[in-house]
Chain A
Amino acid sequence: MTAPAPLRKALRPDDVEVFAETIGHFFERITGEKALVRTAYLLEAGMPLPLDDFNGLIQVQGDYQGSVCFAAPRGLLDHVLMRMGQHEYSDADHLDVVGEIANTLAGRARRVFGEGLEITPPQTFTRAGKPPPSAASSPPLVIPFTWQSYTAVLIVHLDALV
């Protein structure tokens, strides 16, 4: 006899705040300048993910199922790399740092969600790439933010297992 599938539920508004805080914290620590987190929205069924020049995706397992994806334009990543002390950038550097930011944002969320938010090493891809399918069934939540003149998004596509 197979075990019944666990019940799933969407994230709560408080959970969304956790991810918004991780964005603000990251940019303030790395660059000394705050990011302006804008109003989050649910992506309508059938709409494509708002990917960007470079994208870093973290698969989530454990008490939560799905993924967290950080999507950013090249210019924003150039600035972050510069603030991290790097002065020459290749596409490999952009993919590396976009994955590292995704990992850092998802990892910091464990401060609240705990170790039940199990995360994998990042998968990275350019705008032309295809994201792996998500294990979540609830609609993706998009958290846009502005840092300097750049806009980027964190796409949180998670179900909480009950």
Chain B
Amino acid sequence: MTMKLLIVDDSMVIRNRIARLCQDMRLPNLEIVGLAGDGQQAVALAEQFRPDLVTMDLTMPKMDGDECISRLATRLPETRILVVSALSDKTTALKAIKKGAQGFLHKPFSDDELVEALLELMR
């Protein structure tokens, strides 16, 4: 079964890297349905495409990842969220999980770490 993925990060380079890894590597069952550069755009795209998975940055303009996770958890509770963030303190990770994220991957990440984290959420 193909799962739908929404990629959310304010860095175009990171959005493209995640998309490229998903297409080039071992994730044939993922279809990328959107790329969002901030939380507002992410909520709009998520409501339009109802993704199964979201990779979510935290530090973003307009609407940050924390707020975006809260909104997605309320409106699309079946969507699984992998936070991909540079914020490396434990409190931030715990807060994100409490708000509704299912996983947390620290930047900078290796190709293998990203694939492994996505596979974990796809199980």
A103 within 8 Å of B by Cβ?
yes
B98 within 8 Å of A by Cβ?
no
1/0 per residue A1-38: CB within 8 Å of B? Answer: 00000000000000000000000011001100000000
Determine, out of A42-50, A106-114, A130-138, A143-151, the stretch whose residues face the partner at the interface: A106-114
B92 within 8 Å of A by Cβ?
yes
B61 within 8 Å of A by Cβ?
yes
Q: How many of chain A's residues have a CB under 8 angstroms from any CB in B?
A: 29
Contacting pair A110 B88 (CB below 8 A): yes
Chain B residue contacts of A121, Cβ below 8 A: 10, 59-61
Instruction: Bin chain B's interface residue count.
Output: 20 to 34
A111 to B89, CA, bound (A): 4
A25 to B88, CA, bound (A): 13
Contacting pair A84 B107 (CB below 8 A): no
Contacting pair B59 A111 (CB below 8 A): no
Contacting pair B13 A100 (CB below 8 A): yes
Q: Tell whether A108 pairs with B86 under 8 Å between CB atoms, given A85-B21, A86-B16.
A: yes
Contacting pair A107 B86 (CB below 8 A): yes
B108 within 8 Å of A by Cβ?
yes
A26 to B109, CA, bound (A): 9
Q: A residues 63-93 with Cβ under 8 Å of B?
A: 81, 84-86, 92-93
A positions within 8 Å CB-CB of B: 25-26, 29-30, 81, 84-86, 92-93, 96-97, 99-100, 103-111, 113-115, 119-121
Q: Which 6 A-B pairs have the closest CB atoms?
A: A107-B86, A111-B88, A100-B11, A110-B89, A104-B86, A29-B108
